[in-house]
Structure 1
Amino acid sequence: MHGWIILDKPLGLGSTQGVSAVKRALRAAGYGPKMRDMPKVGHGGTLDPLATGVLPIAVGEATKLAGRMLDSDKVYTFTIGFGVETDTLDLEGSPVATSDERPTRAGIEAILPRFTGPIAQVPPAYSALKVDGERAYDLARAGEAVTLASRNVTIHALSLETQDADSATLTAHVSKGTYIRSLARDIAQALGTVGHVTLLRRTKAGPFTLGSAISLDKLDEAAKARALEHLLLPLRAGLDDIPALSLTPDQAGLLRQGQVLAGAAAEDGQYFATLDAVPVALVEAQSGLVRVVRGFNL
């Protein structure tokens, strides 16, 4: 069993718990040590427990592409609650600053171009980043001061959806490494107030959208019916942004042995190499040479 199960992660569930839910479903459907072999399972992009939405779960050989998914762009819808900043920058934390100032819709729209394009942001103290070998959130929870370096990220698009007296909902298309909680904090401060994230929903991760996402209930129903295969997106679905490269049997054999193909008729770039629609490898072509980036055992 190889491919992707896209969860619509519910509120309160961690990303590793999402992986565990898929593993339980696989066992219930007969994939396990006493029946069919249990495939590897991993997620393609962490979501905080207080966030919901698209969580790609890689199954089998798709786990070899999970790292590539981590590097992909994401799209989020999020709500900023104005007037209170918390230590975690979301609903889970304790207030650390307050303000009576509330922005207007015109004020919010005017400030958004400042946060579009390449920007520098300081990650939240409550994050999984490491400081001297320790997770920042562990240090913060222990009451230690956490200082994280600014990092460069890209906000490809940022738009205001709705706004009322105390909050605003926005949609952001962002590069890897972007913290929406930091973005919300910085937008609020630029508007002369403070704020925190009250709602966060990921609507797209790499090529995957909510249109292909399923609930945990649907996952469980499919597992009980031994029909998980019907929910599984093909391994190729994680590589929709790159072209396919058809191979001859001899070429496929060489790549499966880790050898380099010479004289390939392919422009420079990455390709999804297949033999009669069977995935062989993710490859990189350069100057007529094709090298394996990730090989698939199918």
Structure 2
Amino acid sequence: MTDDISRSSLEKESSSGSYPLYILAGQSNMDGMGFVLELPPDLNRTQENVLIYNPNRKDDGEPPEDIGRWVELGPGHGYGHRFIRNEEGEMSLPSGRFGPELAFAARIRTLHAGRGVALLKYARSGSSIHPETPDDWGCWDPDVEDVNQWTHFKYYYRRAVSRAGRDRDGEVLKLSPAGILWVQGESDAAYTKEIAEAYEENLEKIIGRMRKLTGHPQLPVVIAGVSETGREEGRPALPWAGIVRQAQEKVAGNDACAAFVRPPEGHGWIDPWHYDSQTYIELGRRMAEAMAELVS
């Protein structure tokens, strides 16, 4: 995958003046555990006129890292992707994993007559919205005073927009916020009933804060439903998944600019928590179709 945005990618969108910007956020099933080796040929390639900003993840309590750049979307932007600095500057190092981003971008471009898109992806594995989950995987609660995943996301959103589409010659392409994709909830469904029951309010809050950050109070949102997962040490990995999923459906149902998407029935898993490769592909397509319907 190329590490620089080609001039042709910018020139082909010059007539519209901007790329629609989609925010991809959540936890590990947004980050993506699909295997690049299992991608079909149409997705196992660099996608023309699709840009992605996928910065390094940081723990709660750590400052956001001043690194990351826009690159063309290709395989390897799932779990384990990272940026490094060397003598040539910042370099994107793809991993062997992918998430919903590949199929989403391909499908949304088809639905919008081939128009280019930009993706900002920040998803921290294991992260919750609720601030009192016992494991320290990260928290999205925007009201927590300490540095957390919301702090990081907010920083990277502003950094990404300020560096939008900058090529080697310093040309900049404008970004227009177009929607939010939210794939998260497993951690809020894993611990106690009380944490799960707070999910509806917490999800509404994080969506509201993301919309406020972008300056678009009615920014479309597509929420992926939490699935019943496997078992861990003989017990359900997500004992309160039903409560969280009902909350997700209710939030979407009460918001004229939101949609709820279910993963495919009978989909596969690679472990008790994470989808298989085909499920990430189908989920990305479904989220693209739901997003296109919201903005039609």
Taking structure 1 as the reference length, what is the TM-score of the superposition?
A: 0.25
Q: More helix per residue: 1 or 2?
A: 2
Which of structures 1 and 2 has the bigger CA Rg?
Answer: 1
